[in-house]
Amino acid sequence: MGVLTGKKAVVTGASRGIGRGIAIELAKAGADVAVNYRSQQSDADEVCETCRQHGVNAVPLGADMGFQAEAEGLVERAIDSLGGLDIVVSNAVYSDRELFYKADLDGFRKTLDVSMWGAFFVIRKAALWMRQHQVAGNMVIISSPHAHMAIPGAMAYNMAKAANDQMARTAAVELAEHGIRVNIVHPGWTDTPGERKFFSEETLREQGGKLPLGRLGQPEEIGRGVVFLTSPENPYITGSTLTIDGGIQLPWREMYRIKEKAADA
């Protein structure tokens, strides 16, 4: 039996990428999973089938996290479909890359609507249900180093992720007395379809190879971090940030200077 056997989970933005990896790892650990998607139902169906191969129930649920009614409705439908809810993972995001003073404000607002407000509406709705039903649940918000790194061309996303971190920590304080834990995951540069929106295959391969551990992260590695945070074996972790980034936030570029100095000696 897995550490999450009998638990019920919903993962937003789970039809591909990091969300897919999280949903499958939760299933491997024994949790039933509601796999949220926005438009790619065939991808969500494939994720559900993979989850079911681990002996759990998995259901695809379409909803756009950019709209309050759909985000809140997703939580209700997940509860109805799975027969309860123990784990909520807010993962769905949207992002463009534009200088803020030239940005299309429709895309700017969409980034905030999906990446910030979507997360808020999901965890708020889940918290209300968990309190009402006295469920000592777990919530994980998939944030980003963008929360504290001013990445150029990504102001809306930087803003949303900074808000995600404060949202999660505040929720952790307010829900602690109810036994509900809330934590954050900061993935690093991860090999997902979404990265192809901004980078070529050649760039991903070459630049990924320069990272401290020599490669991009994999979605399942993020998923295993979520399993760790939501496991009943780790009941004393709340309001924490788990960084899974292969060392990308370390001052690794300084190693070039040391190596060059050694080569000159």
- Is residue 98 helix, strand or coil? strand
Complete DSSP assignment for 63-83: --TTSHHHHHHHHHHHHHHHT
Catalytic residue, chosen from 37, 101, 157, 256, is 157
Helix residue ranges per DSSP H, the chain: 17-28, 41-52, 68-82, 105-112, 118-132, 155-175, 201-208, 219-230, 254-264
Cross-strand bridge partners of residue 232: none
94 annotated active-site: no
- What is the spatial distance between Cα 234 and Cα 240, in angstroms, rounded to a whole number? 12
- What is the spatial distance between Cα 25 and Cα 68, in angstroms, rounded to a whole number? 28
91, 97, 102, 103: CA torsion to nearest 10? -20
Structure tokens at 133: 């039903």
- What is the spatial distance between Cα 93 and Cα 20, in angstroms, rounded to a whole number? 13
Q: Which of 91, 115, 48, 114 is nearest to 225 (CA)?
A: 91
Q: What are phi and psi of 185, to 5 degrees?
A: -120, 130
> Active-site positions?
157
